[in-house]
Structure formats: structure tokens, C-alpha cells
């Protein structure tokens, strides 16, 4: 209808893409060389390949190449963290691939002995909102709740899954975990 009205009033229409076929492919080895080793940006690689940045990011995902987080750790650190997670207990792998992942896990372990996250945060000398955010992120990464939260007159306690995660986390050598 809009096209007909535009034609009736002499309004020029721009030509859209004539085909919606996938435009090219990105070789895994080339992408690793350019993005990981030479540290080129996705927009730069997108311009070179004639693709959108999102499309190059999809190719990185297809080839299991972790993307550098914005404002986060270096790409080398992100890759090393992902590689190190492979040697850890399976229940923890999903949670230990991002920035500050070990800190979140360490704080979860520290908080489990307190009746509330507020008390845990106070003793850990961090803000309660920061601890809650970290626990929520850990639960999101792992896909299940770790705590039954405290309610009036009832202390928080670990869920069955939380106990599994805590047991697995205790197998990680202490020197690999942050202090708090």
C-alpha cells in the first residue's frame, strides 16, 4: 500500500537488497589470526569482508571464538579463562568463563555460611547490592538458584544445586581463587 502511494505521488523509493543470501563465509583460522592474534576489531574485519559487524560476531560464535568484552579484560585473558575452565568440574564451567568469574565464585563460597547476604556483604566489606548482583550473575550463568533466600525469621540456605556447586568449587586450589 505504501509503495503504491509513493508511486502515485512520485516519491522515489530506494532499492533494497535484491537477494537475502548469506554473503560469504569466514574461515576460522583467518578469524583467529586477525581477531585474536593481531587484535583487530570486529568492525574493521567487517569492513574488510563486506559484512556487518554483527555477522562477523556470529561467525566468531560459530567458530567458538570468545569475543572481547567491552571495557573488560584483554582478549588473551578471556581466552585463557575459557581454556582454564575446561579443566574444572563440569558443574562450574559455564560460570567460570567471564571477567571476575572466580571472584563471584569466591564470594559465593564466603557468603554461604551467613544467615543473610546483607551480613555476608558487611563482613566481606563490600556493598550488599554488589554481592547480590554477583550471586545473581552466578546463578544466571549456572542456570539454577544457589540459595533459598532469607525470609522473616528464616536464614538463607543453599539449595541442593548450591551444595553441588560449593563442593565442586572447593576442589579448585586456593591459590587460583581470589581472597574475597
Residue with cell 576442589: 171
Average pLDDT over residues 77-81: 55
- Of 117, 115, 78, 106, nearest to 166 by C-alpha is 106
C-alpha to C-alpha distances, 46 to 16, 29, 70, nearest whole angstrom:
20, 16, 17
pTM (predicted TM-score) = 0.54
Specify the pLDDT at position 128: 93
Q: How does pLDDT run across 92-139, given as a tens digit for each residue?
A: 777 776 678 888 889 999 999 999 999 999 999 999 999 999 999 999
DSSP class of 174: G
Q: What stretches of 112-159 show up as alpha helix (H) in DSSP?
A: 117-124, 128-142
The residue length of the chain stands at 180
Residue 82 has φ and ψ, to the nearest 5°, of -65, -40
Q: Across all residues in the chain, what is the average pLDDT?
A: 82
Amino acid at each position: 500500500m505504501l509503495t503504491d502511494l509513493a508511486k502515485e505521488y512520485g516519491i522515489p523509493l530506494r532499492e533494497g537488497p535484491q537477494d537475502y543470501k548469506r554473503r560469504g563465509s569466514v574461515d576460522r583460522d583467518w578469524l583467529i589470526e586477525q581477531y585474536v592474534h593481531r587484535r583487530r576489531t570486529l568492525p574493521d574485519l567487517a569492513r574488510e569482508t563486506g559484512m556487518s559487524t554483527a555477522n562477523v560476531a556470529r561467525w566468531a560464535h560459530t567458530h567458538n571464538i570468545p569475543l572481547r568484552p567491552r571495557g573488560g579484560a584483554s582478549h588473551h585473558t578471556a581466552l585463557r579463562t575459557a581454556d582454564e575452565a575446561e579443566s574444572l568440574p563440569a558443574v562450574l564451567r559455564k560460570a567460570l568463563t567471564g571477567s571476575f568469574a572466580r571472584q563471584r565464585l569466591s564470594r559465593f563460597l564466603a557468603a554461604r555460611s551467613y544467615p543473610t547476604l546483607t551480613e555476608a556483604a558487611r563482613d566481606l566489606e563490600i556493598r550488599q547490592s554488589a554481592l547480590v548482583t554477583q550471586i545473581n550473575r552466578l546463578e544466571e550463568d549456572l542456570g539454577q538458584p544457589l540459595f533459598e533466600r532469607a525470609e522473616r525469621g528464616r536464614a538463607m540456605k543453599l539449595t541442593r544445586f548450591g551444595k553441588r556447586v560449593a563442593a565442586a568449587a572447593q576442589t579448585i586450589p586456593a591459590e587460583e581463587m581470589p581472597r574475597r
